[in-house]
Amino acid sequence: MASRFCRQWRTPYPMHADSRVPESAQSGIHEQLPMVVDRHAASPFRKPYADYNRVAFAASVERFQLLASGAPLILDSGCGVGESSLVLARAFPAHYVIGVDQSASRLQRGQRRRSEWPPNLDLVRADLVDYWRLLHDAGLRLARHYLLYPNPWPKIGHLRRRWHGHPVFPTMLALGGVLECRSNWPIYIAEHCLAVRQLTGRPAVAESYLPDPPITPFERKYRDSGHRLLRTVTDLS
């Protein structure tokens, strides 16, 4: 039976790519999500920090304090090659933008455009699970936070791999700011909204979104493949 989250969508853009929307046997919000969210809210995540994440975090904070101490902070979580981070740094010149990704190869590709970087941009290789907690422990709070096209982990048994099903999610929300999540899988956005509402009591509503222009390679590919793109924006400040 077709999911109510996956209605036919027609894009006004010509389709020049061939990417597929995530396929899953899951047809709606995971029935265990409310229970999982409650459990994680009641039991803070205490996994030990990896040394390389501590080092990467400390170096990035040192650069932030040296170059833009006191500036509002924007975090681009899972920034990939850093295209979105560069767009954000240009769009918010009075803010300091940190893009974080665990993939060294993606960040190296982003470094090729370093000559184009404005002074308020930094890209950091780190695991977000540690980086978010280190930010929180350091008392740093965000002005804006972007979670753009995270891995949807669409299998039913992968709920706890999705960010809203992960034990770190309450800490991530506690970083505050305006949180924006985008995805091409309607179920992911619906679950994200539910988890945000459950943990914060703040409104979180999904909306269709047509980026013009796209700001990540995935966003461009999904748009050009005719996918319905969605986002949700919640003020956590």
Q: What's the confidence (pLDDT) of residue 17?
A: 61
Q: Which residues of the chain have pLDDT under 70?
A: 1-17
Tokens 């695991």 map to which residue? 127
Q: What's the confidence (pLDDT) of residue 16?
A: 56
Domains of the chain: 52-235 (3.40.50.150)
- Residue 114 DSSP SS3: helix
Q: What's the confidence (pLDDT) of residue 13?
A: 47
Q: What is the pTM of this model?
A: 0.92
Q: What's the confidence (pLDDT) of residue 113?
A: 82
Opening angle at CA 151, ends 195 and 90, nearest 5:
90
Q: Which of 98, 95, 89, 102 has its CA nearest to residue 129? A: 102
Span 37-72, pLDDT tens digits: 999 999 989 999 999 999 999 999 999 999 998 999
